[in-house]
Chains A and B, each alone.
Chain A
Amino acid sequence: MSLPLLFYIAALIAVGSAVLVVLNKNVVYSALLLVLCFFSLAIIYLLLEAYFLAVLEVFIYAGAIMVLFLFVIMLLNLGREKALEHFKYLQRGLSIFLVVLFFLGVFLLLLNDSSALHQPEGGFSAGGVYSLGEALFTKYLLPFEVASLLLLVALIGTVYLAKRKI
């Protein structure tokens, strides 16, 4: 199988599962379809030669985050959502119009004016864990440390919010 074909198949699966995530009334199905979407995105990362990020996508998103989602769905005992009763047609039409406008605007801009894009010569050498780690620990050391602080704050905040009594 040729690699571009694999990209388009993965893209089709990603878009299809994303649409089903939004349209599905059952939250559990939405969560599982989102996992499918993340896996196809991981395949696309592999095709774009971001090998470490593909592994991270499966580990963090499909592993950790979606397990968290499923646990919360289980705890809250959410069944099928009641049918969306009051359709507000004006709001829906307006939001679809604005989103399509956004999509077409950026898309047509990209198609018509790609003169700003200049791909440098030479092979690609930035996908592996070595170059990523080197950038993280030299050029981006401060953001890396701040990210750890962010995780600590999130940890404390989560415990505070979810606990019944402190």
Chain B
Amino acid sequence: MVVPLEHVIALSLALFSIGVLGVLFRRNAITIFMSIELMLNAVNLALVGFSRYYNSVDGQVFVFLVMTLAAAEVAVGLAIIIAVYRNRQTVNIDEINLMKN
């Protein structure tokens, strides 16, 4: 490998943690979606790293499926955001509390 596996996993961990912090800190629904994309990419990176390390194509097949899932998730999620914005004129998740209580 070009670098040790530990470094790839450390990078993946760092990106995942940044994504988690983004979901926890931001109140804008679109930024939260971007953070989720970041987390999915971090997992993809770990899968590619392990696939390279163990010389197996299985990890790359999983990355392929995760990319499909991410595309579907973003399409549905952004449609939900548009529907919510049409009804509430906001994408701030603190103000979208219809189901609270």
Contacts and interface: CB of A to CB of B under 8 A. Distances in A.
A135 B57 contact: yes
Interface string A91-127: 1100110011011001100110010010110111111
A150 B68 contact: yes
Contacts of A21: 18, 22, 31, 34-35, 38
Contacts, number: 219
A158 B73 CA distance: 10
Contacts of B20: 95, 99, 102
Nearest to B5: A117
A124 B48 CA distance: 13
A22 B70 contact: no
Given A48-B49, A65-B70, 4 more contacts: A22-B31, A99-B21, A143-B65, A157-B79
B75 A154 contact: yes
Given A56-B64, A75-B82, A147-B68, A68 B74 contact: yes
Interface residues of B, number: 68
Given A50-B48, A107-B10, A110-B6, A76 B91 contact: yes
Contacts of A127: 52, 60
A120 B52 CA distance: 10
A51 B58 CA distance: 15
A161 B76 contact: yes
Interface string B20-44: 1110111110110111011001001
Nearest to B81: A72
Interface size class of A (residues with CB under 8 A): 35 or more
Contact of B14 (A15, A27, A123, A161): A15
A44 B44 CA distance: 11
Interface of A: 3-4, 7-8, 11, 14-15, 18-19, 21-22, 27, 30-31, 34, 37-38, 41, 44-45, 47-50, 52-53, 56-57, 60-61, 64-65, 68-69, 72-73, 75-76, 78, 81, 84, 91-92, 95-96, 99-100, 102-103, 106-107, 110-111, 114, 117, 119-120, 122-127, 131-132, 134-136, 139-140, 143-144, 147, 150-151, 153-155, 157-159, 161-162, 164
A96 B30 contact: no
B74 A65 contact: yes
